[in-house]
Chain A
């Protein structure tokens, strides 16, 4: 039987018909093979191709060629050096992340090291200082040290004394207000470098009620403001101004601890 009834394209396809694939993936090839399946010419070609392919499989592979496909590495890749490993995007990203985490941790640890009882309140009051305008205070022009009596007599605040280091400075105004924890805060505005003074209750032990004391002056920073805080007789005093620690240092009698 000849393949005269096949189209020219199908006859061309049969010349490339797969040798051992019974079901070719190509639709047109599958169709051509199906139509030619019974033809003696195609059967003869297929048996010829199978015989050649079988013989090709028997072609001996030279031993030196067979060695290429042994379990040895076909290509020895370049060695990984530390430099190269560090430049890998994944390692680089992890390293940066670890550095950032470490930086934040160190920053928090250092911040904690500078903490003292009342430091959180002091920072909040620095924010108050930054937002306070002179009109918000009662105008009082006197020496800061004399305001202790005013606080006691007018507001019943005991031991709200301005330390000797700041007692002689002239005031512009003062006020007493309550913070969000209903603690009464005294605020004094000085003419000297537009400095502000704050007096507020010291932190106490939640169980015993004892005052949590700390010695000397401690610094706090918030939004470009700096405060020097000390505790005396259960009341904390803070002198605050916009600037740096060295701007406050000259006013403090003793060096900070």
Chain B
């Protein structure tokens, strides 16, 4: 969610400190994922004054049968940068979905998204990622 590790650390500690204070005062919210939601809002708040991703219309391609092998050619850091530079809420949706720790209902809860919105963001994310890997690793043309 954050490209700056100093800011990430600050958000991390602030979130935990606030959670500990709430717990000590018996004011822990009953919602299951309030801590994640809280952390997400702090991340968004921390990056509010930063340069925001441009609202560009990225190319989109249909998922190719060889997409998995194209993805495997990527460096992990490249993918991290690609996801972290996506505009929110797409960044939230992609990050939470590909962490593979939450089901779609939990992602809706944490990201405060509507189901249709999550579907659209994931479909769009896949197609944009496919377009990007197509650019980076073009399919060899059959002669």
Contact = CB atoms under 8 A, between A and B. Distances in A.
A17 to B, nearest CB: 8
B13 to A, nearest CB: 7
A65 B68 contact: no
Chain B contact residues, majority secondary structure: helix
B105 interface: yes
A24 B102 CA distance: 11
Given A12-B116, A24-B103, A65-B8, A49 B98 contact: yes
Contact residues on A (Cβ < 8 Å of other chain), bracket: 35 or more
Given A25-B103, A48-B71, A68-B9, A19 B98 contact: yes
A29 interface: yes
A15 interface: yes
Contact of B122 (A16, A55, A74, A75): A16
A12 B119 contact: yes
Interface string A40-60: 110011011111111111111
Interface in A26-83: 26, 29, 40-41, 44-45, 47-60, 62, 64-65, 68, 74-75, 77-78
A48 B67 contact: yes
A21 interface: yes
Interface in A98-140: none
B136 interface: no
Contacts of A13: 104
A182 interface: no
A51 B100 contact: no
Contact of B63 (A45, A59, A75): A45
Contacts of A18: 100, 103-104
A211 B21 CA distance: 71
Contacts of A44: 63-65, 67
B68 A50 contact: yes
Interface string B11-23: 0110011001000
Contacts of B64: 44
Contact of A60 (B76, B98, B100, B129): B76
B16 A60 contact: no
Given A16-B122, A18-B104, 5 more contacts: A12-B115, A48-B67, A52-B98, A56-B100, A59-B80
27 contacts: A12-B116, A15-B119, A15-B123, A16-B115, A16-B119, A16-B122, A18-B103, A18-B104, A20-B100, A24-B103, A25-B103, A47-B68, A48-B67, A48-B71, A48-B130, A49-B97, A49-B98, A55-B71, A55-B76, A55-B79, A56-B79, A56-B100, A58-B76, A59-B77, A59-B79, A64-B9, A77-B20
